[in-house]
Structure formats: structure tokens, C-alpha cells
Amino acid sequence: MRRVLIIGGGGMVGQKLAHRLSVEGLDGDTDIEVTLFDMAYPEGGAPAAERIVGQLGNFADIDALVAARYDVIFHLAAIVSGESESDFQKGWLINGAAFLHFGMKLEEEHRVSGGAYVPRVVFTSSIAVFGPPFPDQIPDDQPLTPQTSYGAQKACAELMMNDLGRRGIVEAVSIRLPTIVVRPGKPNLAASSFFSGIIREPLNGQEAILPVDESVRHWHASPRAAVGFLIHAAGLDTALLGDNRALSMPGVSCTVAEQIESLRAAAGDKAVALIRHEPNETIQRIVGGWARDFDPARALALGFRADADFDAIVRAYIEDYLTD
Amino acid sequence: MRRVLIIGGGGMVGQKLAHRLSVEGLDGDTDIEVTLFDMAYPEGGAPAAERIVGQLGNFADIDALVAARYDVIFHLAAIVSGESESDFQKGWLINGAAFLHFGMKLEEEHRVSGGAYVPRVVFTSSIAVFGPPFPDQIPDDQPLTPQTSYGAQKACAELMMNDLGRRGIVEAVSIRLPTIVVRPGKPNLAASSFFSGIIREPLNGQEAILPVDESVRHWHASPRAAVGFLIHAAGLDTALLGDNRALSMPGVSCTVAEQIESLRAAAGDKAVALIRHEPNETIQRIVGGWARDFDPARALALGFRADADFDAIVRAYIEDYLTD
């Protein structure tokens, strides 16, 4: 039986992953046991053998997790981009320092086991590791030049993952997720939160605020596709990755205008009329520094698959969250 | 009066910097007070107002240093490349985790001061942040792709420095030093130690071991040039750096054969005869993964100056360490 740990298992993607693992297992293998770690869990959430409540800022919690020697570890927990920018300490502690501690503890456990303990670790990095100026399509060899604290922290974590992988301490895979839309639930502190809001709120009969121009182009994947990336990464032959364990995931590149047309196709003009344009210079500036399109050739060759288009992303939200 | 702190002030470069500051001041300003921080100091070492004994692995020591609000901080302390590769924990603790803690404490001090405390911080990074395959000359926009733990740790520190600089928390300058030769004293744990040994030992009438082929090409600067880089970095207008605060320093690119010819020019065939070829596959492999030449256009435009050639590097050693 394989023991699977999801760090950040109480979050939106973590819960969706836990649910899918409970239905399908991992790569067809249903002989697994799933443990979640997070600060809190939604009521009536995804099934799991155990739900551990803890904090990554408390390094003893990390030590205990790693000492339990799970076979597969998904590390999804992070302080989001907006909060990492507004709270320097919190972002660098959780996304930076705690991740280095996690890596160091993994090495200790590997060493103490005489080299026998080599878990699969799948880490969710971000396209925020890249900064402008961008080419039209960001290639796989785009340099790490983050322009936000969040991006710098994710880049540090990627460097640790590459070192763990190069040394054979873990089977390391870092996946850089596109901006996930349409997120269910409420807006969060990420500057990208409106990308979900302008679809989700109108589909639920509520007003949404659009703080940027409709010409803004960005890079997206559905929560369903994100979970697919994670499961695929857990089964990947890491020998194919070489020394660079970080992969930019495939996604859908489209403008806000195109997203609104997908909303119109799914729910009509009445839904679109619920979007209120209220330009916000801060968000416009932050989003203006984000990547717009990628050429994720490596990930595609390794079998990662994105949503077909933005219509499919809207459909995934309706099917997964609005259909009982 | 400006208060200057040298973290790693007991080491070879730190001592040389302290000595030069005591003679010349900082950019012509002799109204300075120099404090050193290190685990230990050489007997009869460079003058300083205070010599603090501490450990970066003890984060309380870092807190105390930062709380003392020095105007200029040189951060030179590191676990060297060879030891970072052999001791994963030690390298990631000192070069990685402790550096993130240093940055976080600097932000706290800046915030507590109401934004008034913005020290100049000069950090010695390394060309080990780059990994193969290399172009013939490594340009300033070469991506961060370290292939050693040491290089990954230095890259993490550069990312923290860039974030501190971007946010205006410190006046941040990271300088990537070439391999420093000719180091005085004894061999150290760096895989590059022999580059100094093959010049230093024969000049002192002793045998030296050359573990690699004479065709090996590498990138060098003298300790004297390194101190010059540090002092120049401390006076630099950081507005000229933009968001990328890391600069590859100029240096001398030459082969081991050329280095041996410089030794011959300075000390004759008898000195050269003291070099014993004893190939070491491990060192050959490590050094084979190192950069051979750079095009440090940015640093040159900013006024950083290297040694003229390898003859000048040998001369600097003789003048600084063999002439009484």
C-alpha cells in the first residue's frame, strides 16, 4: 500500500486532489492511503485516512510529517501572491524558509534510512518565477527572473527541489501551474482572484468586478486540469527530466474579452451584464507584469494535458461545482 | 561616522578588506568604524573596532547583528563549494536558510524603523549559480541553472537580495566572484583549491599537486581585485542596477598551462618543476562543470576592474604575501 501525503490538503486544489484520489487512486493503483496536512479543513470535505492540523511555520510540524515517511508527497501549501507581496515575513517564512527546512529534513530522513527512503515529491511552483520582459511565448528555458516576493520564494523552492532531485534524495517534480480558474468559493487574496470572479459570480447570479482592461491576456488552467497535472507528475519517470525538475504546465492563453465570450456562450448576455468594469491601477500594474502565453513543449512531450480552450474551463466549473 | 560590518570578517577576503578599510577608508571616507563577525580570527589579524565571535547557524546571532543597524554590511561568509557538496545540511543551513533569515530580519528592522533604516548590503555570490552547457563567454543574462548545492544556495541568496533591493529595504548589490587565486595560507575544502596551490606552493619552495589537465580553462581574480570589487560595490549607485542586483565580476580567463607559464615567468623552471601531475577524476569532473569565460559587460560599464592578466595575479600574491 502506498501512503500519500497532501501538504495543503485543506485548500481548493488539495481537496479536489484528495477527492479524485479517493475515487480513482493514483495512476490506476487504488491501494493507497491519503493523509492531509493543513491549518484547517472545509466541513464535509474530501475523504482521507487522516487530517492533520498544523502549520508549516512551525518547523516541528514539518519534521513530524517527513519523519512519517510517506511514499508520495504533494506539496501544494503556499501563501498566495498578493499576501506574499503585502506580508514579507509570512511569505518568506512559509514559501521560502519552511520549504528549505522541508528539503533539509527530507535529506536527513534519506540519510538516516541509509539511502532507502526516496519519496516522490510533487511541488506546485508558479509561473511567477518568470518576470518581464517576456517573449510572445515563454519557452522552457526562460530564465528565473521573478519580480515579486512570491515568485522569488517559488524560485528558491525550485532550486531546492532540483538539488534534492540531482542528489537522488527524492524523486522531485516541480510543476508551474497556470493561474487556476474558475476557482469555486469566495475571492482570495491573490491579485489574480478576479479572473475567477468574473466567471463565477455571474454564473451564480451575482455581480463581479473587473479591475483590468478586457485586452489583458493571461495563462489559465481549470482546477480539474491542475489535479490532472499533479497525478500525472506523481507517475512520471523522473529520469526523463534530467537536472531541471521544474516544468511549465500547459494551459489556455486568452484575453479577458475572450473569457467573457465564453461566459456569454455558457450563460448568455444576462450573465455578462453582471460584470462591472472598475479599473484598479494596482491590480492592472501587477497583472501587467505577468506572463501571457507559454510554449510548454517539455511538459506536452511528457504527457501533461491542458483544457482544450476557455469554453472547456467554464464547462469544468459548471460540471464540477454547479451540477449536483 | 559610518559603521561597517563584515560578516565573514575572519576569513581571507574579509581580513584583507578590513585591512584595506583601515588604511584607505571606504571610497575616500575615513570616518568609518569597522566591526567583524566570524567564528574565529587569525592571530594578529586586521585592525577592527570590534571582533564579534558567533555563528550564522545560530539565528539569534544574526538577529543581534542586524539589530545593531550598521550602515554598510559586507556579507562574505559561506560554506565553500566542496563542503556544501559533501555536507548537505551545513551548506543549506549557512548559505541558504541563514541567508533567508538575514534578509527577513533586515526587513523587520527596516519596518520597525519606519522605513528609515536602509543599509547598503554587499553580498558575495558565485559563478557557481551558472551550470553547463555554457556558451564560450557567459553573458550577463545567463540563466540561473546551478548544478551544485553551493550554486543553488547562492542563487537562493541572490533571489532574496533582489527582493530586498526591489522593495527598497536595503541597497542591495550581489557580486559573483571569479575563483580567487592566489589564496595565501593552506589549501581549503573548495574543489578549486589547487588553482592557488600550484602557484603558491612552488613560490614557497614546496611541491604542489595538479589534479586536472593543463588544458582546463577557468575564470580568476586575485584577492586584491576581490577587495576592490567589494569596495566599489559599496559605493555604487544602486539605481543603475534596476531589479537585477547580481553582477558577474570581471576576471582573467586562462588555462592551467598559461597559469604555469606565469609561474615560470615569476620564479623560473625550478618552481614549475615542483608541480606534480596527479589526475583526480572527481576534481576533474567537478571542474569540468565550471564556467571558463565571461563577458561581464554590465560590471565593466559600472566601473568594476579586474586584474590585467594572470601575470598580474601572480605578482599581486608575491607583493601582498611574500614581500615584507
Same structural domain, B201 and B104: no
Spatial CB neighbours of B249, under 8 Å, sequence gap ≥ 6: B175, B176, B177, B178, B221, B226, B229, B296, B299, B304, B306
Are B149 and A131 an interchain contact pair (Cβ–Cβ within 8 Å)? no
Q: Is the pLDDT of residue B45 over 80?
A: yes
Q: What pLDDT, on the 0 to 100 scale, is given for residue A131?
A: 92
Tell me the pLDDT of chain A averaged across its residues. 96
CATH code (residue B287): 3.90.25.10
Q: Give the count of domains, chain B.
A: 2
Asked if the C-beta of A280 comes within 8 angstroms of chain B's C-beta atoms, the answer is no
The per-residue pLDDT for A324 is 64
What's the average model confidence in pLDDT over B167-190?
Answer: 93
List, for residues A214-238, the tens digit of each pLDDT value: 999 999 999 999 999 999 999 999 9
- Assess whether B314 and B236 both reside in one domain: no
- For residue B182, being part of any structural domain is answered with no
Angle at B144 between CA B132 and CA B152, to 5 degrees: 90
Residue A304 resides in a domain: no
Range of the domain at A36: 2-178+221-248
Do the domain assignments include residue B170? yes
| Claim to verify: residue B35 and residue B122 sit in the same structural domain | yes
ipTM: 0.95
pLDDT at residue B30, rounded to an integer? 94
In a domain, residue B186? The reply is: no
Q: Indicate whether B116 and B43 sit together in one domain.
A: yes
Express each pLDDT in B264-318 by its tens digit. Answer: 999 999 999 999 999 999 889 888 888 999 999 999 999 999 999 999 999 999 9
Residue B100 with chain A: CB contacts under 8 Å: 92, 96-97, 100, 156
Going by pLDDT thresholds of 50, 70 and 90, the confidence category of residue B324 is: low
Q: Is the pLDDT of residue A27 over 90?
A: no
The residue of chain A nearest to residue B106, with distances taken between CA atoms, is: A89
In a domain, A39, yes or no: yes
Tell me: do B165 and B256 sit in the same domain: no
In a domain, B281, yes or no: yes
* Cell digits of residue A70: 510517506
Q: Could you tell me if B90 lies within 8 Å of chain A, comparing CB atoms?
A: no
CB distance from A88 to chain B under 8 Å? yes
> Is B321 designated active site?
no
How far B271 CA lies from chain A's nearest CA (Å)? Answer: 40
Q: Are B100 and A89 contacting, i.e. CB atoms less than 8 angstroms apart?
A: no
Q: What percent of chain B has a predicted confidence (pLDDT) above 70?
A: 100
Q: How many CB pairs under 8 A join A and B?
A: 87
Asked if residue B284 and residue B229 are part of one domain, the reply reads no
| Residue B42: pLDDT over 80 | yes
* In a domain? residue A163: yes
Looking at residues B70-87, what average pLDDT do you find? 95
| Percent residues over pLDDT 70 in chain A | 100
Q: Are residues B55 and B126 in the same domain?
A: yes
Q: How confident is the model at residue A289 (pLDDT cuts 50, 70, 90)?
A: confident
Please state whether the peptide bond connecting residue B250 to the residue before it is cis, i.e. omega within 30 degrees of 0.
no
B213 lies in the same domain as B231: no
Average predicted confidence (pLDDT) for chain B: 96
pLDDT band at A81 (very low <50, low <70, confident <90, very high): confident
Of A97, A145, A166, Cβ closest to residue B100: A97
Percent of chain B with pLDDT over 90: 92
Pick A160's closest partner by Cβ from B104, B152, B166: B152
- Lowest mean pLDDT: which of A89-93, A190-194, A229-233, B77-81? A190-194
- A83-125 pLDDT, tens digit per residue, is 999 999 999 999 999 999 999 999 999 999 999 999 999 999 9
First-last CA distance in chain A: 32
Which pLDDT belongs to residue B187?
Answer: 86
Q: Are B213 and B105 contained in the same domain?
A: no
Are both B115 and B211 inside the same structural domain? no
Asked if the structure places residue A154 within a domain, the reply is: yes
* Shared-domain flag, residues B204 and B240: no
- pLDDT over 90 (residue A191): no
Q: What is the CATH number of the domain that holds B169?
A: 3.40.50.720
Q: Taking 90 as the threshold, does the pLDDT of residue B154 lie above it?
A: yes
Question: Both B242 and B276 in a single domain?
Answer: no
pLDDT of residue A52: 98
The conformation of residue B184, written as its DSSP 8-state character, comes to P
Closest CA to A72 of A108, A21, A129: A21
